[in-house]
Amino acid sequence: MIQVQLKINEKDYTLLVKEDEMLSYTLRERLHLKETKVGCDQASCGACTIWMDGTPISSCITPTLKAVNKKITTIEGITSGPQLHQLQELFVKHGAIQCGFCTPGMVMTALNFVNNNPKCNLEEIKESISGNLCRCTGYKKIIDAIAEYAGIYRKQTSSIKGASDNHTVIGKRTPYIEAEKKVRGIADYADDYIIKNALVCKFLRSPYPHAIIKSIDFSEAQKLSGVKYIAVGKELPEKFGVLPISQDETAMAIDKTRYIGEIVAAVAAETETIANEALQKIKVDYEILPAFLNIDDSLKTTDCFIHQTSAKHKSNVHKKAEIRIGDKEKSFNESTIVKDLTVTFEGISHGFTEPHACTAYWDENGVSIITATQVPHYLQKALSKTLNIPLYKVRVIKPYVGGGFGGKSDPFAHEIIASYIAMKTHRPVRVCFSREEVFLTNHGRHPSRINIKIGTDSNGIIKAIDGNMQIDGGAYGSFGVVTTYYNGSLLQGPYKTDYYGYSSARLYTNKPQCGAMRGHGGVNPRFVTECVLDDIAHQLKMDPCELRLKNLLPPGTTTLGQFRITSNGLKEALTSVMEQARWTERYGKLPYGHGLGVACSWYISGSLLPIIWNEYPQSVVHLKLDFDGRILLTSGASDIGQGTDTLLPMIAAEVLGIKKDIIQVVMADTLLTPVDLGSYSSRVTFMAGNAAKAAAEKLRDEIITCVAKRKELVKEKLRLNNNEIVSNSGEKICGWQEAVDITLSQRGAISFSGWYISPKVGGDYKGAGAGLSPSYSFGAAIAEVKVNPDTGEYKVINFYGAHDCGKALNPLAVEGQLEGSWHMGLGQAMSEQMKYHEGHLLSNNFLDYKIPTALDTPEIYTNIIESKDPEGPFGAKECGEGALHPSIPALSNAIFNAVGARVTQLPITFEQVYNAIKANPQLAKTSSL
Amino acid sequence: MTDKKYLIPKTSAEAVKLFTQHENSKYIAGGTDLIVNFKQNNIAFQSLIDVSSLPELKTITANEKELTIGASCTLQEIAGHDFIKKNLSILKEAALSIASPITRASATIGGNLLCENRCVFYNQSDWWRESIGNCLKCEGDICIATGGKKNCFSKSSSDMAPALLACNAEVSIQTEKGTKRISAEQLYSGEGVYPHTLKAGELIVAIHIPIVAQQFFYFKLRQRQSIDFSSLTIAMSYQKDKSLLKIGIGSADPKPVYWEYKINGETKFEDDVLQKVKKIRFVENDYYSRDYRKDILLLQLNKQYQKFLNTK
């Protein structure tokens, strides 16, 4: 260690540091300056960007000693007073902040660039932030904010199509309530909490994909001074898993290990260094078993099973599903055109920028854990089960979460282990994953091989849709059973058909487990379906948009599998993007190498049925009114960057006719908030939104009743408007505080509970519940590409998207969700893949796992379609997942349109396009090299 | 174990002296390659000698004959330099194609020339490499990319190198005994495990690029337009008056490959290229296949050759 002086944000610090320590570590761990975030720890994501002598640097790879005698500026240092910097204000205003984890680094990069290049243009701005990855926004709103700061005019490319209404809060572009905290870097994420005296927990991971653990010897590790606890699998034998039907996982491997990277032992020590040293001293004796590394391996007949439950299949099948509705043979026989396509898909990671992190502690209430989770409730259940303590002894606290996208929705081994060691040692236990560990924890989109066959008549009317899917689940169940069904059940829309059916199988393989990721289960089959429809249109010489328009399910209908369609704005969505992309004018008329492609989709707006069956409501929201006039809104719903903490008070304020800052929130803490099933399946706006609305209506009626009684007026003639009780004619009866005083007179604070229970709808066949939702969202997308037919290189130049979200309660947030979804879809389409070599994950960092940068992202045109759902809160339904689906096939169809080549493997790399063109020599018509 | 050291010399001569005085030293300039490798335990050091601020390594000067770039000039400085933009635009293009803007603000030209060779099986955490069985480049005994060969084929990953080679650049090097000047090509051994020829303590101080009338072509194959290392880098310069083509290829072979082609010579360009490309040791150590990278290389070279011929 060496004593150094550092000048950070004009303040001098004298401290001891290690000679090879990095600046991000010094800032966060030694000085507790947690505004600087660390996303990848190897300079590939930009989250940790700060300035050294005015130059942006990646603080995660800058030795602290390099900073001696230099001026360090973090996000805290860009303003001197309480005011935000103008660029920070613009980030807030434009909705450039969702999860907020990349925000401080993004602001530091952008501010430095614009200040040094005041005459910059839009392209240069994109270039300047191309080393800062954002997984939430698709960069559009970030670029909007920076462009305004730089004084650059930016074309308006967003629209809302819907009937006007006279809401005062709802429908207004509203920055997140916590946006200022996030843009300052002071919103606390799981690893930003400073909990005194915490142990650091590190994990020993399996180097083998499939091996029997013969023995674990940690005696040498235990001798190290500072090692407080070493845990191994047999201490936590209770199985868990997010679905009650496939609980096949233990916190650590017990008898055998099933993937490279599985946790075999855990060390909790006084410091990270000691914990790592102890890991080196643990000796594990393995006996290697045959490994099953892909779909074909696991389909083979064998007597070696990853899980014994597969024995009945005589292969490593985890789950099979088959549903057929209608007459398959007849419908295909009646079709004049039958086309099919098989596509293979690599696995996809959620790629949230905040690594998994948690701190667990033990006190008189039992175990508490602050953890980056989307679903506190299921973690609470898993902790109770695995630690064998009552549910009321488990408190899960969700801090600000740096993105989830499904990847923080399972209960995780590290959360169980940290809680267990806290329980054992009565010391707080802290875990923060490396980026490699995040990738190894996976739970991402399944690698898949999918065949879709579609039959139509000679007019392009769909007669039959049939699917055959094999999905590579990895070593454990996670959400996999649901994924197996979703892969097929979402084929029954958004088009009418006489027959739909599928047979799908999920395989166990010796790789990190797959689970739910944005657009869960529907994304890959949608890709193939939309490609096949395009092929059919091509053969019929029909405009692919026209073919789709002919087949759309109308609103107020029921699908073959008895999914109830209420509102449906798909026709408006498709025609909107057609118009915007000048489709009719340009499609088929562009030069070789330049193409347009279209696709449509739909998605559930909340799973109608809970994962763990119960008779409770799906969501509950509490409102408490006290003497100070403040309303406390509590809900278990988890804001992970999508804006729930802002949305629920907006809904309540709209109902109550009061200013929204009167309503303050405490969210997602199982001690303090009513249970909510969590942020998954795009359920929160619909379900928690309805619950908030119901609670607010009760509170409003109570206030009006009390005021009417006191003032001897007829309550039906009173309403709340703009913080006042007014008569129907608009005459002020009393102000908000007086109304509160009257309402609470002689009894004090009051609470109301609102809840949402989903309607009883759907079929009664096996699997009828998979994909069942109280409502469905719909969307359409057109991608425009330019392809170099010689090399296969291509660039998406424009992306036109439209999504029917029922009603945009907060248009700023809705646009953000849509733009982020489309961007994430394009990532899967263009460059992202979980690439393995013999079970070893190659792409385990942000350099090799290629999330598109600002330069790879096209100009995005955002269209919100409002179909006003009859059951959604103020007509709203989901917008966070459904939009992702059409972006991938739209791109593939655009490439097909540009060069006539159909790529059947994702991601569609330049090499794939090159090979597809080469395989078809008559295609290479012209060169644009 | 003794404490590590972080040393900041004032001159390049002092830097070399410090290097030799201390055990297991490494020079650090921007550190953008070094530290990532250090974190992955691909390299170890006891002392870091920071050469990023040596005044003599921070200047860019030009006369009619040559441009001299101090080794610690950042890629951002190079890309923004007026003389370079005007006369040696290929250096700007190459610099701007490297990593991301944040990295280019501290990464230096000297550091980029000595960027460690890369391979998808090598640039991983030490836990990962140990799990798969250490390869030749991390003291193991076989190459994983080729499934067992006894040679390391890690790719030279500098994008500045092919561009500088195509400009016939030279480098001056501070040694214990003084300075020496060698061609940039001589920096590279062609071996994957130890790809550089500099001896312990030798420090690149400057890069010299002759100024001649020439046209350029630069191409970098990568999946994303930022952050990514190259899957294939092509740098060409064409001296019309001498009917001379100079070609530098990066991210293909363990060393940056260089050759010259005399137009109107005995061999046809296409045939010559085929011969040269055959000798490049492409292996499956990239996200793009060996075949694709080879095809693109041939295609781009032949196309560009025609384009050069057709220029007035």
A126 touches chain B (CB under 8 A): no
Give the closest-approach CA distance of A835 to chain B in angstroms: 9
Q: Are A608 and A907 in contact (CB under 8 A)?
A: no
A561 touches chain B (CB under 8 A): no
- pLDDT of res. A924: 56
A327 touches chain B (CB under 8 A): no
Give helix A140-149 / helix A86-94 axis angle, nearest 10°: 140
Give the helix ranges, DSSP H, for A174-215. 179-184
Q: Position A196: which residue type? A: K
Give helix A86-94 / helix A103-116 axis angle, nearest 10°: 130
Strand order through the sheet with B215-221: B215-221, B232-239, B244-250, B257-262
**Helices first, then strands: H and E counts in chain B:** 11, 12
Residue A279: closest CA among chain B residues belongs to which residue? B127
DSSP string, B116-179: PPB-TTTSS-HHHHHHH--BGGGT-SB-TTTTS-SS--PBP--SHHHHHHHTT-EEEEEETTEE
A647-684: b (≥16 Cβ within 10 Å) or e: bbbbbbbbbbbbebebbebebbbbeebbbbbbbbbbbb
Length of chain B: 312
Cβ <8 Å between B226 and A850: no
Which candidate, A182, A257, A258, A269, places its Cα nearest to that of A225?
A269
HSE of A876, CA atoms in CB hemisphere, 13 A: 26
Cβ <8 Å between A260 and B303: no
Give the closest-approach CA distance of A209 to chain B in angstroms: 10
Q: Which two structure tokens, joined as six digits, stand for A755? A: 């809840």
Q: Are B132 and A841 in contact (CB under 8 A)?
A: no
Confidence of residue A926 (pLDDT cuts 50, 70, 90): very low
CA distance linking residue A234 with residue A283, whole number of Å = 16
CB contacts of B1 in chain A (<8 Å) are: none
A109 touches chain B (CB under 8 A): yes
A788 touches chain B (CB under 8 A): no
pLDDT in tens, A96-116: 999 999 999 999 999 999 999
Give the helix ranges, DSSP H, for A632-688. 644-656
Angle at A521 between CA A95 and CA A909, to 5 degrees: 75
- pLDDT of res. A874: 98
Give the closest-approach CA distance of B178 to chain A in angstroms: 27
pLDDT in tens, B204-226: 999 999 999 999 999 999 999 99
Nearest by CB: A109 against B4, B102, B295? B102
What residues have CB less than 8 Å from B277, skipping those under 6 apart? B294, B297, B298, B301
Nearest by CB: A131 against B4, B102, B144? B102
B303 touches chain A (CB under 8 A): yes
Cβ <8 Å between B221 and A915: no
Q: Which two structure tokens, joined as six digits, stand for A544? A: 């692919």
- pLDDT of res. A80: 86
* Residue B66 falls in which region: left (phi positive, over 0), alpha (psi -120 to 50) or beta: beta
Q: Are A618 and A677 in contact (CB under 8 A)?
A: yes
Q: Position A696: which residue type? A: A
Longest dimension (CA), chain B: 65
- pLDDT of res. A928: 37
pLDDT in tens, B47-87: 999 999 999 999 999 999 999 999 999 999 999 999 999 99
- pLDDT of res. A760: 94
Cβ <8 Å between A43 and B224: no
Residue A909: closest CA among chain B residues belongs to which residue? B223
The whole-number average pLDDT for the span A221-242 is: 98
pLDDT in tens, A856-894: 999 999 999 999 999 999 999 999 999 999 999 999 999
pLDDT higher than 60, residue A196: yes
Q: Are A212 and A255 in contact (CB under 8 A)?
A: yes
Cβ <8 Å between A911 and B288: yes
On the question of a cis peptide bond just before residue A390, with omega within 30 degrees of 0, the verdict is no
What pairing do the DSSP bridges indicate for beta strands B170-175 and B178-183? Answer: antiparallel
- pLDDT of res. A720: 97
A835 touches chain B (CB under 8 A): yes
Give the helix ranges, DSSP H, for chain B. 12-21, 34-39, 75-79, 82-87, 89-96, 101-104, 109-113, 126-132, 160-166, 269-279, 290-310
Averaged pLDDT of chain A: 97
pLDDT in tens, B138-178: 989 989 999 988 999 999 999 999 999 999 999 999 999 99
Cβ <8 Å between B31 and A790: no
Which candidate, B194, B37, B45, B191, places its Cα nearest to that of B124?
B37
Residue A1: closest CA among chain B residues belongs to which residue? B3
Cβ <8 Å between B296 and A62: no
The whole-number average pLDDT for the span A791-797 is: 97
Mutate to test the interface with A, among B74, B129, B130, B223 (most CBs of A within 10 A): B223
Q: Which two structure tokens, joined as six digits, stand for A888? A: 């991938």
Share of chain A above pLDDT 70, in %: 99
Longest dimension (CA), chain A: 87
CB contacts of A264 in chain B (<8 Å) are: none
Distance set, CA A339 to CA A664, A841, B295 (Å) = 55, 35, 33
Share of chain B above pLDDT 70, in %: 99
On the question of a cis peptide bond just before residue A889, with omega within 30 degrees of 0, the verdict is no
A857 touches chain B (CB under 8 A): no
Coil, helix or strand for B96?
helix
Query: Chain B window 128-157: which residues touch A at a Cβ cutoff of 8 Å?
Result: 128, 130-132, 144
CB atoms under 10 Å from CB of A271, counted, come to 11
Cβ <8 Å between B36 and A61: yes
CA distance linking residue A687 with residue A679, whole number of Å = 11
Q: Are A684 and A605 in contact (CB under 8 A)?
A: no
Q: Position A519: which residue type? A: G
- pLDDT of res. A927: 40
- pLDDT of res. A929: 35
pLDDT higher than 70, residue B195: yes
Query: Chain A window 352-391: which residues touch B at a Cβ cutoff of 8 Å?
Result: none
What single DSSP character describes residue A631?
E
Cβ <8 Å between A844 and B124: yes
B282 touches chain A (CB under 8 A): no
CA distance linking residue A634 with residue B279, whole number of Å = 69
Cβ <8 Å between A61 and B39: yes
Which candidate, A530, A538, A660, A658, places its Cα nearest to that of A599?
A530
Nearest by CB: B303 against A840, A854, A929? A929
Q: What share of chain A is helix, strand, coil (3-state, %, to 5)?
A: 30, 25, 40
- pLDDT of res. A93: 98
Cβ <8 Å between A113 and B101: yes
A914 touches chain B (CB under 8 A): yes
Give the closest-approach CA distance of A207 to chain B in angstroms: 5
pLDDT in tens, A477-527: 999 999 999 999 999 999 999 999 999 999 999 999 999 999 999 999 999
Cβ <8 Å between B289 and A63: no
- pLDDT of res. B2: 64
Q: Are B167 and B246 in contact (CB under 8 A)?
A: yes
Cβ <8 Å between A63 and B31: yes
B87 touches chain A (CB under 8 A): no
CA distance linking residue A665 with residue A178, whole number of Å = 11
Cβ <8 Å between B102 and A63: no
Cβ <8 Å between A205 and B3: no
Which position has the token pair 């920055």?
A175
* ipTM at complex level: 0.97
Give the closest-approach CA distance of B287 to chain A in angstroms: 8
Confidence of residue A266 (pLDDT cuts 50, 70, 90): very high
pLDDT in tens, B238-281: 999 999 999 999 999 999 999 999 998 889 999 999 999 999 99
- pLDDT of res. A925: 55
Give the closest-approach CA distance of A65 to chain B in angstroms: 7
Query: Chain B window 237-276: which residues touch A at a Cβ cutoff of 8 Å?
Result: none
pLDDT in tens, A515-571: 999 999 999 999 999 999 999 999 999 999 999 999 999 999 999 999 999 999 999
pLDDT in tens, A823-843: 999 999 999 999 999 999 999
- pLDDT of res. A109: 98
CA distance linking residue B267 with residue B260, whole number of Å = 12
CA distance linking residue A569 with residue A572, whole number of Å = 5
pLDDT higher than 70, residue B1: no
Cβ <8 Å between B4 and A18: yes
CA distance linking residue B30 with residue A900, whole number of Å = 46
